[in-house]
Amino acid sequence: MKIIFSFLAIVLLFISITFASAKEAEEIKEPAEAQEKHEIFNFNKVKVEQFISPELCRDCHSEIFKQWEGSMHSKAFVDPVWRAATKLFNKDVKTEDQILEMKACVKCHTPLGFRSHSITSPDEDYDKLAELPAQGIFCNWCHNISEVKGLGDAHYEVAPGGGEDDPSTMLGPFKDSDSPYHPTKYSELHTKSDFCGLCHNVSHAGNHIPIERTYDEWRNSPYYTGKPETTVNCQDCHMRQRPGVPATGKTKRPDNPGKACDMGPDRPHIWTHYFVGGNAIVTKLLGSETHAQMAVERLQHAADLQILKNISYGKEELSHVRVKVINSGAGHYLPTGLTEVRQMWLDVKITDAKGKVLLRSGEVDMKGNIDKNAVVYHTKLGNEKGEPELNVALADRILYDHRIPPKGYMIESYAFYIPEDAVSPLNIEVSLKYRSASQELARVLLGENAPEIPVINMASVTEKIEVQK
C-alpha cells in the first residue's frame, strides 16, 4: 500500500500543476454547514457498536461467509483502485457541487463508516476507520436494510439492533427460518432487483447527472416483465453463480441446494454470495483467485459474435465485413457500472491465405494501449468545457455512450482493400475483449508498478471469404 501511495503522490503533484492550485481548492473546501443538510446526509445516524462483525456470522454461516469474503462487497472500502481514485479526484474539487460529490464517495463504499459519521469524506485518513465499517458492504448491513426511500444513491434506512448481545432481526428470503441467535423475518425487498438498485444506480450528488445506471438499464430491459413469475432479477444471475455455473442470460441458472446455516435444514436453493461482475483484478490482488476466475467465466457467457459477409468479394475492390455483437448474457447494458473506466472492444484481423494482413483493428500495443481506431464500448463523461473528464466530481455531462443494450445488438462495419496479389480464401478472426480499466489509468492510479490489467477474451469467431478471380 505504501508503494501505491508514494506513486500516487507524484501523480497528484503533476495533476495539481495542471489544474487550479491545491491551496486555492483548500480555501473553498471548508465543510459548509449547509452541506450537512443536503440529501446525501438525509438518513438516521447509526453507531458502529449496533452492528455485528461478519466473523461472528461465520460461526454458523461459514459457506456464505467464504463467498462474501472474497467479493467486491467486502472489499469496497479497501479496494486500492477506489482509494486511489477518490484521493486523486479530491485534490481538484472547487465548487460546492464537486465537494458534495466527493463526500458521497464514502457513502456507498463504507455505508457504516459514513452513516456513523466515522468518515465523511476522502479528506480523512482511511486507515483510521474501525475494522467493521472498513469491511465495506457486510452481512449485518445488507440484512438490516429495511426501508426504501428512493431507488439509487443509497436512499434507504437500516434497522440495526444493539450489537452482538442484542442482534437485530435478520431480513432475508425465508418465511420459515428459525435461528437460535437472532430473530429472522421475511423481506420481499431482498428477493428483488430493487434491493441492489439502492446502490447500483449512481448519480452525481451535486449536478445529478447519471454516472452508473445498472438498475435502470435492467428495469427497462426484457428481463423485467412486470410479473414476478417471469422477471429475472439481479439475484437470479448474480446470486446463482458459483464456480462452474456462470448463471447468465444465455446459460441455465440452476438451483443451488444446500444449507443456509451449518446446523440448519437442507433447502432446495441457497442464494450464493460471491457477487461476481467483471472484476478479475482487484479480487485477485486482495486474495481470491476463485472470484477472479468466476469473473472470467461470467464474461465468457455474456455475449455472442457473428460475422456478416457480403454476397461476393472481388479483387482490387473496397470491401466490407460487418460484425454483430449480441448482448445475450447480461441483464443490463454491456458493459455496465463504471463504464467510463471499463473497456470492452472488438479485435478484428483479416489475412489472406498466406497470412498477409489486410485489416487489423483493436490490437493492444506494447504499452498496453488499444489502437486508436478500435471499436470500444464504453461511456465518456465531460466537463463544463465539453472536454473528456476522468474526474467524476468535475463531470457535468455525458459526451458519449456506445454500449450494447440487454438482449440487443450492435453491428460494426469494417472496410478493407483486397489487393491483386491476395491469395484466396481470406481469414477473418474476431474477438470481443474486456478489461476493468486501461493500463494507462492503472498506472495513474496505482503507479508504475501497477499490475497488468488482464485482458479477458469474452467471445471469438472466425470465417473464411472466397475471393472471385
Q: Is residue 181 involved in binding ligand HEC (CB under 6 A)?
A: yes
Query: What is the grid cell recorded at 426?
Result: 481470406
User: Which of 441, 460, 429, 458 lies closest to 369 in space, CA to CA?
Assistant: 441
Q: Which stretch binds ligand HEC (CB under 6 A): 20-28, 274-282, 352-360, 418-426?
A: 274-282
Candidate residues 134, 158, 260, 455; the one interacting with ligand HEC per rule CB under 6 A: 260
Q: Which of residues 75-114 bind ligand HEC (CB under 6 A)?
A: 76, 79, 81-82, 85-86, 89, 101-102, 104-105, 107-109, 111
Q: Which of residues 4-43 bind ligand HEC (CB under 6 A)?
A: none
- Torsion angle defined by CA atoms of residues 254, 255, 256 and 260, in that order, rounded to the nearest 10 degrees: 160
**Residue 386 Cβ, how far from ligand HEC at the closest point, in Å?**
21
Contact 358, 351 (CB under 8 A): yes
Q: Is residue 261 involved in binding ligand HEC (CB under 6 A)?
A: yes
Q: Is residue 443 involved in binding ligand HEC (CB under 6 A)?
A: no
**Residue 464 Cβ, how far from ligand HEC at the closest point, in Å?**
30
**Residue 93 Cβ, how far from ligand HEC at the closest point, in Å?**
9
**Residue 417 Cβ, how far from ligand HEC at the closest point, in Å?**
35
d(CA 116, CA 284): 30
Phi, psi of 235 (to 5 degrees): -60, -35
d(CA 435, CA 450): 14
Of 108 and 467, the one with the shorter C-beta distance to ligand HEC is: 108
**Residue 24 Cβ, how far from ligand HEC at the closest point, in Å?**
20
**Residue 49 Cβ, how far from ligand HEC at the closest point, in Å?**
13
Radius of gyration from C-alpha coordinates of the chain:
24
**Residue 315 Cβ, how far from ligand HEC at the closest point, in Å?**
40
State the number of CA atoms in the 13 A half-sphere of 84 facing the CB: 24
Q: Count other C-beta atoms under 10 Å from residue 285's C-beta.
A: 15
Q: Cis omega (within 30 of 0) on the bond before 405?
A: no
User: What sign results for the dihedral spanned by CA atoms 237, 242, 245, 246?
Assistant: positive
Candidate residues 350, 375, 392, 455; the one interacting with ligand HEC per rule CB under 6 A: 392
Of 426 and 456, the one with the shorter C-beta distance to ligand HEC is: 456
d(CA 299, CA 280): 10
What's the chain's length in residues?
A: 469
Candidate residues 7, 126, 215, 414; the one interacting with ligand HEC per rule CB under 6 A: 215
Of 3 and 353, the one with the shorter C-beta distance to ligand HEC is: 3
d(CA 322, CA 246): 29
Q: Is residue 218 involved in binding ligand HEC (CB under 6 A)?
A: yes
d(CA 210, CA 117): 26
Q: Is residue 395 involved in binding ligand HEC (CB under 6 A)?
A: no
Q: Which of residues 310-349 bind ligand HEC (CB under 6 A)?
A: 329-332, 334-338, 342
Q: Is residue 381 involved in binding ligand HEC (CB under 6 A)?
A: no
